[in-house]
Chain A
Amino acid sequence: MQELVDHPTTEAQVELIRSGKSLRSEEMTINMGPQHPSTHGVFRVELVLDGEQVVDAIPHLGYLHRCFEKHTEAMTYPQVIPYCDRMDYLGAMNNDWGYALAVEQLMGVQVSEKVEYIRVIVGELNRIASHLVGGIGTYGLDVGAFTPFLYCFRDREIILNIFEKLCGARLLYNYVWVGGLSHDIYPTFLDEIESFCGQFRNTIREVNELLTGNKIFTTRTKKVGVITKEVAINYGISGPMLRASGVKWDIRRDDRYSIYDRFDFEIPIGNDNDGALIGDCYNRYWVRMREMEESLRIVEQAVRDCRKTPTLMQGDVQKDVPKRIKPASGEIYSRTETSKGELGFYIISANGTNPYRVKVRPPCFVNLSILPDATRGYYVADLIAIMGSFDFVMGEVDR
């Protein structure tokens, strides 16, 4: 074992360095985060690196922990809904809906057709808005494409404006209530959605041209971060991430909650065309792209149904809201498909006005847990691409 030399002074030492025998090779531990643009929130990964290669990635979470589950025990059932908004703040409609549906199922409340249609419309629009930010816009940013991000935000703005007119909030809506909705739709609601649907396919085409076929983008994402379906299921992965691994499973189709059985839509899954591998970063991105089209189809069908039967959009949206929400003792596990995956609510009622316990199954929390396994052996630059493709929102991971 020869002595290591940092600052060579003699001819022999220079020779020693040239021969490569003195090169140090030891693992380095560095922190990525908590404040890092590609962690999409406050999240720290302790990286053990061998040169540029990731030997281990140890996630440290909890920076955004706001005691959601503790709070719910002190709140009445409707008061919990604003807290649900703040979990996945990119797809708050779907969170509210998941919680409201769980309480409705526990109490056996049936909501009217009108409420179901509005819920489907806003839920799918919110799914599009969430994918535009998380799965596509900022994912492009992560791997170095700035322009598609602006195109995505331009269209997300239209959706947020519709929601703002609908309920006064742009991000945290508190719109879906147990048994109903907080506000009725405004007169030009359907018109504005139709005009959005009319131009959104154009945006999808633009983003496809800018990003999907982009050589730099595909090189950075294809064959990177491959997750096989067996591993994914064992890790409990759900949503677009699981579908990218080739599992054609969607809770909207499987459980058929609400009125999703009336709409015709495809479930996009990952494929291995053009040098991609099933379950890689590119497929996770591509599944989200395709999912936006399918959400758009659902919205279009729902709006068409509303147009066809004018009586559908009449009636009070709060007529089924229970005066007193006090479910009988018992428990329920209810799940819905949000833009991130399977959002489950396990609610225990002790026949009070407050829930005894609310446990959330946050899809992002579960999806993120595969990070160490998915990144080991890749390069640091790939780690950014892999993390971005998970599309996690730390508000939901930490709750």
Chain B
Amino acid sequence: MNAVPIEAIHADLQSKFSDMIGDLRREPAETGTAYIIVKAEWIRDVCLYLRDDPQYLMNNLNLLSCVDFREMKGQEYQGQLGVVYHMSSLQPVGDEWKTIHSVAIKSYVPLSDPHIPSVARVWRTADWHEREGYDMFGIIFDGHPDLRRILLPSDWEGYPLRKDYKVPDYYNGMKVPY
């Protein structure tokens, strides 16, 4: 299997999914990790395609992270949360296994309607990552098998990693001393 550069993956995705695929970005230009912007509704299909297409075989989801972009500078970030997927293809080369190529995909999720399809059935590792995203950001992953809070208690109110989160004064009627 040959390594496919991210520019080629981007061009191929654009030809397959047309306007569901946005720009390819890399910031800072020399040292940053490049990412492709994908419309949230299509994220599951794009992930499945990348996992199963024989050119890519992205069998390993390294990290699924949620981000609150609302305090970033730029018009496109207004009112947006987001989910970022770092995936790679782990394949045997000789007797060792190597990361053949990797790609990062970013999707914006509007705060007013924070829904995105779940990829927990594409990679099982996404299960807990998505639960953490729901726990901390309140992003609803549609089709997740068991979307509950994971790190916080089940009766916690609010989503702490959102930028406008206020630490509550009371927890279950008890005053929280600081």
Contact = CB atoms under 8 A, between A and B. Distances in A.
B49 interface: no
B153 interface: yes
Interface in A348-373: 348, 350, 356-357, 359, 361, 365-366, 369-370, 373
A146 interface: no
A247 interface: yes
B62 A332 contact: no
A234 interface: yes
Interface stretch (B3-11, B67-75, B170-178): B67-75
A344 B62 contact: yes
A8 interface: no
A236 B123 contact: yes
A235 interface: yes
Contacts of B97: 247-249, 254
Contacts of A373: 124
A88 interface: no
Contacts of A247: 90, 97
B14 interface: no
A322 interface: no
A329 interface: yes
Interface string B50-66: 00000000011111011
B128 A366 contact: yes
A348 B128 contact: no
B139 interface: no
A206 B85 CA distance: 45
A106 interface: yes
Interface in B121-144: 123-125, 127-128, 136
Contacts of B78: none
Contacts of A253: 96
A105 interface: yes
B124 A331 contact: no
A108 B150 contact: no
A267 B30 contact: no
B32 A346 contact: no
A365 B126 CA distance: 11
A248 B96 contact: yes
A220 to B, nearest CB: 27
Contact of B28 (A234, A328, A365, A370): A328
B150 A62 contact: yes
Contacts of B60: 233, 236
B153 to A, nearest CB: 7
Interface in B12-49: 26-28, 30-33, 35
Interface of B: 26-28, 30-33, 35, 59-63, 65-68, 71-73, 84, 86, 90, 92, 95-99, 104, 123-125, 127-128, 136, 149-153, 160-161
When A and B form their complex, which 3 residue pairs have the shortest distance between CB atoms, in order from nearest?
Answer: A236-B125, A330-B27, A249-B97
